[in-house]
Structure 1
Amino acid sequence: MSDASNDGLTPGAAGEVLYEVKGRAAWITINRPERRNAMSRNTVRALTEAFVEAGEDPEVWAIVITGAGDKAFCAGGDMKEMNDIAQAGRQVHTPMTGMYRALLEVMLETYKPVIAAINGHALAGGCEIVLASDIRIAVEGATIGLTEAKRGMGANFGSVVLPLLIPRAIAMDMLYTARMVPVEEAKQLGLINQVVPREAFETEVQAYLDTIIANSPVSLRRYKEMATKSWGLPVASALRLNVGPNPYTSEDRAEGVRAFIEKRAPEWKNR
């Protein structure tokens, strides 16, 4: 994907994914509202490219992923495309195979805060995108769910990650029943950080984003990389990983301390 310009959103894959850098944040939008933002193969490729681009851009300190419209965040994979592939006698994509890393793996390995702005229903692969994000802010009335069992599919990422995020019995209930869970219930389970009214949704997402990017990007990247790479390790091993940028020797650490002493806002250098 090319760099975002001042003229607005930059389209990926025939406009199926929009990419815009606003301030210190990259906004990635699944732009298929007529298909409830279901992901075609081109959509997945463009999303992957967008996360790689955001991860490599030093001017981007955080990332927001959302969907176009007000009906769905993402309804998962494009069933029509999958059926067309099957009817043509070809095999649909199997997770963790092929030339490219899985989108969800790329999201986990993008070492910057990722906020899922869940503007509508997030189902199947759309729910997995939510699970791969760090912070989840949802609009009232939305649902999330790993509905793959209704379609004879596998929820490869969700079946691994969901039991790590919530109690196993509840995770298996969601997987086995394929039920659509109201975001209000998901918040009680700890899967959703905030549930906000539709009319306040964009404002609340931006306000939360502002609280993140007010902090040192060196610290943010350190947190993300340490949290990701230490996942599942014994504490003694995790504490010795020492991965990501070293905040203790950074210019940002010196600036943060100096700003505190001088009672002013810090001016981060991202180094």
Structure 2
Amino acid sequence: MSDDGLISGTTDEVLYEVRDKVAWITINRPERRNAMSRHTVQLLVKAFVEAEEDRDVWAVVITGTGDKAFCAGGDMKEMNSIAKAGRQVHTPMTGEYRALLEVMLETYKPVIAAINGHALAGGCEITLASDIRIAVAGATIGLTEARRGMGANFGSVVLPRLIPRAQAMDMLYTGRMVPVEEAAEMGLVNKVVAREDFETEVTNYVASIVANSPVSTRRYKEMATKSWGLPVSSALRLNVGPNPYTSEDRAEGVAAFLEKRAPVWKNR
């Protein structure tokens, strides 16, 4: 349990658990199809900050409770109540609400979205802010904001950078719910897995990541994130994140290879 009570039971909107070097962050509002209230967003930010700061966490998985939805986006009932009260619904990239997707991008550890059900609107954007997307068969993914007069601020910028522009604009303009099988063909989803194998597949996949040096994977994430959009000549000279070339993990990795044993990483 964290000191601030983030992890305190099944009634929490966001669950946080670390096991085998992996932080598992779970949106826990199945009665609302894991839609995000303002409080949910705040808890997700805390969870990702905690994972980023914990040296014993080498990778992060974000998922949802149940088998209906990964995350249905923002809580529409809450938005409606705010509007009826004459108050302004928040605008992306302003105030405290600017943080979640930026925090995810700036969590310099592998972030895997385990898409256990439909991932729509803000839920889709969470998957776009992740590095790897593994989806359960039969789920859909989509930026449905145009159907509700909203903006998909993050998705409209990031999606055309992840898949061909024409496919991205089709998803944005139509607001359609794309089957994850089709999303995999686009390259948007890495893997589609049957429901009965989903948890095992995700666990095994993440284990294959944390078997590697966390110095290397952090370096990859930080370089890939901070060099995005830079010319290659500039990106190659960026040199951000931990330096694996001078690390103890590099010495250990070489020694383990020569001694034909599994490496014991120190994350330094």
Q: Same fold (TM over 0.5)?
A: yes
Alpha-carbon offset, residue 42 of structure 1: 0.2
Alpha-carbon offset, residue 73 of structure 1: 0.1
Give the Cα–Cα distance (whole angstroms) in 1 for the partners of residues 168 and 162 of structure 2: 8
Alpha-carbon offset, residue 100 of structure 1: 5.4
- The number of residues matched between the two structures is 268
SS in 2 for 1:240: coil
One-letter amino acid of the structure 1 residue matched with residue 22 of structure 2 = A
One-letter amino acid of the structure 2 residue matched with residue 106 of structure 1 = V
Gaps of at least 5 residues in structure 1 are none
- Indicate whether 1:39 and 2:21 are aligned: no
- Indicate whether 1:232 and 2:244 are aligned: no
Is the alpha carbon distance of 1:185 and 1:157 closer, same or farther for their aligned partners in structure 2, counting shifts above 3 Å? same
Is the alpha carbon distance of 1:171 and 1:33 closer, same or farther for their aligned partners in structure 2, counting shifts above 3 Å? same
Report what 1:262 is aligned to: 259
Contact persistence 1:30–1:68 (CA under 8 A): yes
Contact persistence 1:95–1:102 (CA under 8 A): no
Report what 1:94 is aligned to: 91
Alignment partner for residue 162 of structure 2, among 162, 165, 169? 165
Deviations 1:181-206 (A, max 9, x none): 00000000000000000000000000
Gaps of at least 5 residues in structure 2 are none
Is the alpha carbon distance of 1:44 and 1:90 closer, same or farther for their aligned partners in structure 2, counting shifts above 3 Å? same
Q: Where does 1:213-252 land on structure 2 (aligned, <5 Å)? A: 213-252=210-249
Alignment partner for residue 147 of structure 1, among 144, 147, 151? 144
Alpha-carbon offset, residue 23 of structure 1: 1.2
One-letter amino acid of the structure 2 residue matched with residue 178 of structure 1 = G
- Indicate whether 1:22 and 2:19 are aligned: yes
Give the Cα–Cα distance (whole angstroms) in 1 for the partners of residues 117 and 86 of structure 2: 34
Give the Cα–Cα distance (whole angstroms) in 1 for the partners of residues 3 and 257 of structure 2: 35
Alignment partner for residue 59 of structure 2, among 62, 86, 111? 62
Alignment partner for residue 132 of structure 1, among 120, 129, 132? 129
SS in 2 for 1:10: coil
Give the Cα–Cα distance (whole angstroms) in 1 for the partners of residues 89 and 133 of structure 2: 29
Contact persistence 1:146–1:174 (CA under 8 A): yes
Deviations 1:217-237 (A, max 9, x none): 000100000000000100000
Alignment partner for residue 73 of structure 1, among 59, 70, 73? 70
- Indicate whether 1:118 and 2:98 are aligned: no
Q: TM-score scaled by structure 1?
A: 0.96
Alpha-carbon offset, residue 102 of structure 1: 2.2
Give the Cα–Cα distance (whole angstroms) in 2 for the partners of residues 102 and 192 of structure 1: 24
Q: TM-score scaled by structure 2?
A: 0.97
